[in-house]
Chain A
């Protein structure tokens, strides 16, 4: 595997503060014309100093030159107004100011390559694509991720104790009143049961698994496949828009409620629901922090890592940048403000 960094500033580096940086070969931007990637190669392009039109041209040149191999955008000054445009153009990674400072490490390179492979197979190469483990995508087990069956074999074949990439969906319900005080213990228990049922119905298409549940929130695991993540994101947005109907009709609440959703992607060891007490995972911690401390009622908050798949075409304009949290860029869905026309 070859990692190339095209930049006008020859002193620039992708290493940043990473403890185990991925070693990249730095080349001038003109060298892109002669770039001939092999399968599995990865290149990054520094867009510093380019205006919007120049950035667009760079994207199309990268798409032409790189074909199916992975490429990413480096934006140390945060000059790209809408990073999602890079993903729409075919990029597999975007390093904003915070990510540039953190540096590109081997784990991220691995994740970017897996994402690019997943997207390539989703884009129509289908059965011809070969996963890193050498299995044909068409030979995947039922429920396995069609894009990368080796990365996620499906819930029936998943092995406790092994690590897998997942999308984590944090779910909580919020109201202006203290729900437990207002409803009483029994009523609150009923509300939780109804909410669990409602979420399971809403997330059926996403094939999500209720993994952890606290007194006030829940964490679902979503398979790391484009269709599942998009379905989970759509289900959350539908619930946010329909919150008055869901609260009133399905949850039977006589006062308004809002939902809090947060999504992040990362790798974690898998244990069956109810046996997750020993799991130590940065991705799981971050998902809970993002949901409990940063996400706002009435919004779906998505980390930069999860954004590409969580904002399917047609819904991407519902998301806006919301700064960074714990060193990661995050996006918020726009609120559905409902009022008279």
Chain B
């Protein structure tokens, strides 16, 4: 993530005007426990560091490490809740938050996190993740059933039109819930959810895609046959990689592909038990009974019409 120099200098000023160098060091260790100010600045430990110097060094390092947003989030938390039972009002922090908002981020007060403003930009790393970061993520895998047959049977322009409609259905369902599309191959998509209630978001996105396709197939599908999909939702640890091929080597992603391909019927969403416990009863009741699959227990959702 690129941080503007005006934002950097504002943050620096905010720090040295509100807290001491020692306190700054304590707060920066909330996001980087190994941070050593003396080692990073090259100043011997027997020489005191002024507040201004400490602020300059810390902000520079934290930007370089790609943890600037995490650091501001930590400062916001300290400012509102205090730290170790003591309050630390940080003068001018509101202005830093405002500057980040102008730079394309949205601050969610409920979770205390900054999100990339999806209406301006939707980068795969949310503007936050760095190569190698390990996080708990909820993932959604979608596959178009019998894609090659569909391509053979229908004119190319019709296939392109149908796939473009599918892409916008998926994009709306995923990005509208703070998710990101990590890959879109010819016949399928992989989406991830990192922030907020990520498990719930992944499940609801899958449900919405199936619901939308129900109407798309009836009202605006240009193909001579319905566009049918299988969707799987799963959650687990992921080591983020900018290279998609490297990213796909994560076990959680391998598992979601297995759930989709081997345990999910056509026009159905298969949700793993990892996700399921974290959603409310209102949604749980919409899914079928638990079934065993090669990667654990799963439950299914499908659009079923009342029989006449």
A binds B: yes
A139 within 8 A of B: no
The chain A residue with its CB closest to the CB of B217 is A314
Which A residues are CB-close (under 8 A) to B94? none
Which A residues are CB-close (under 8 A) to B302? 338-341
**Is the Cβ of A248 less than 8 Å from the Cβ of B282?**
yes
Which A residues are CB-close (under 8 A) to B265? 341
Interface size class of B (residues with CB under 8 A): 20 to 34
**What is the bound-complex CA distance between A254 and B283, given in angstroms?**
10
B234 within 8 A of A: no
B214 within 8 A of A: yes
CB-defined interface of B264-308 with A at 8 Å, one 1/0 digit per residue?
Answer: 010110000000000010110111110100000001111111101
Which B residues are CB-close (under 8 A) to A247? 282
B211 within 8 A of A: yes
**What is the bound-complex CA distance between A340 and B268, given in angstroms?**
8
B219 within 8 A of A: yes
**What is the bound-complex CA distance between A69 and B75, given in angstroms?**
75
**Is the Cβ of B288 less than 8 Å from the Cβ of A245?**
no
**Is the Cβ of B219 less than 8 Å from the Cβ of A315?**
yes
Which A residues are CB-close (under 8 A) to B303? 241, 336, 338
Minimal beta-carbon separation of B177 from chain A (angstroms): 9
Which B residues are CB-close (under 8 A) to A315? 218-219
Our pick among B207, B287, B308 for the contact of A340 (Cβ within 8 Å) is B287
Our pick among B208, B215, B285, B306 for the contact of A256 (Cβ within 8 Å) is B285
**Is the Cβ of A336 less than 8 Å from the Cβ of B306?**
yes
CB-defined interface of A44-81 with B at 8 Å, one 1/0 digit per residue?
Answer: 00000000000000000000000000000000000000
Interface residues of B, dominant DSSP: mixed
Interface residues of A, dominant DSSP: mixed
B150 within 8 A of A: no
B204 within 8 A of A: yes
A41 within 8 A of B: no
Minimal beta-carbon separation of A37 from chain B (angstroms): 34
Which B residues are CB-close (under 8 A) to A234? 215, 219
**What is the bound-complex CA distance between A168 and B287, given in angstroms?**
34
**Is the Cβ of A254 less than 8 Å from the Cβ of B280?**
yes
**Is the Cβ of B280 less than 8 Å from the Cβ of A245?**
no
> Which B133-178 residues have a C-beta within 8 angstroms of A?
none
Minimal beta-carbon separation of A176 from chain B (angstroms): 12
Which B residues are CB-close (under 8 A) to A255? 282
Q: Interface size (A, Cβ < 8 Å)?
A: 27
Which B residues are CB-close (under 8 A) to A312? 219
Known: A248-B204, A314-B219, A341-B288. A256 touches B304 (CB 8 A): no
**Is the Cβ of B268 less than 8 Å from the Cβ of A341?**
yes
Which of A255, A314, A320 neighbours the largest number of chain B CB atoms within 10 Å of its CB?
A314
**Is the Cβ of A335 less than 8 Å from the Cβ of B306?**
yes
Which A residues are CB-close (under 8 A) to B288? 339-341
**What is the bound-complex CA distance between A245 and B209, given in angstroms?**
12
**What is the bound-complex CA distance between A253 and B301, given in angstroms?**
21
Which A residues are CB-close (under 8 A) to B207? 244-245
Known: A234-B219, A341-B265. A336 touches B304 (CB 8 A): yes
**Is the Cβ of B211 less than 8 Å from the Cβ of A245?**
yes
**What is the bound-complex CA distance between A314 and B226, given in angstroms?**
12
Minimal beta-carbon separation of B286 from chain A (angstroms): 5
**Is the Cβ of B283 less than 8 Å from the Cβ of A340?**
no
The chain A residue with its CB closest to the CB of B289 is A340
Minimal beta-carbon separation of B275 from chain A (angstroms): 15
The chain B residue with its CB closest to the CB of A312 is B219
A337 within 8 A of B: yes
The chain A residue with its CB closest to the CB of B173 is A245
A327 within 8 A of B: no
The chain B residue with its CB closest to the CB of A314 is B218
Known: A334-B306, A337-B304. A244 touches B214 (CB 8 A): no
A215 within 8 A of B: no
The chain B residue with its CB closest to the CB of A320 is B308
Which A residues are CB-close (under 8 A) to B299? 340
A30 within 8 A of B: no
6 further A-B contacts with Cβ under 8 Å, apart from A335-B305, A339-B302, A340-B302, are A245-B208, A249-B204, A312-B219, A336-B304, A338-B304, A340-B291
- Can you report 19 A-B residue pairs in the complex whose CB atoms are below 8 A from each other? A234-B215, A237-B215, A238-B215, A241-B211, A241-B303, A242-B208, A244-B207, A244-B282, A245-B208, A248-B204, A314-B218, A314-B219, A318-B305, A334-B308, A335-B305, A336-B304, A340-B302, A341-B268, A341-B288
Closest 10 CB pairs of A and B: A340-B288, A335-B306, A314-B218, A340-B300, A334-B306, A341-B302, A341-B268, A341-B265, A341-B300, A314-B219
